[in-house]
Amino acid sequence: MGRLVQIAMGSAAELSYHLLLSKDLGFVRKEEYAQLNAQAERVMKMLSALSGRLKSAAAA
């Protein structure tokens, strides 16, 4: 399960990059970028917390 969370984290990081690129190329407005990037960061924080809990559970 931990490996799947790592893959999801990598995908979320890739999404963040693509959002930035889309903004820089003018496909997404700055306001849209800010909202979408904030949501991606929120998901990455949740995935990080899940990863930590899975590691704690595996150590116990």
Per-residue model confidence as pLDDT tens digits over 7-45: 999 999 999 999 999 999 999 999 999 999 999 999 999
**What is the pLDDT, as a whole number, of residue 39?**
97
Q: Is the pLDDT of residue 2 over 90?
A: no
SS3 category, 60:
coil
pLDDT range class, residue 1, cuts 50, 70, 90: confident
Q: Let me know if residue 49 belongs to a domain.
A: yes
Residue 49, CA atoms < 13 Å, CB-side half-sphere: 6
**What is the pLDDT, as a whole number, of residue 17?**
98
**What is the pLDDT, as a whole number, of residue 35?**
98
State which residues form the domain around 46: 2-55
Q: Let me know if residue 25 belongs to a domain.
A: yes
The Cα-based distances of 55 to 5, 10, 12, 58 in angstroms read: 11, 18, 20, 5
Average pLDDT over residues 37-60: 94
Q: Let me know if residue 23 belongs to a domain.
A: yes
The total number of structural domains that make up the chain: 1
Q: Let me know if residue 7 belongs to a domain.
A: yes
Q: Let me know if residue 60 belongs to a domain.
A: no
Q: How many helices (H) and strands (E) does the chain have?
A: 2, 0
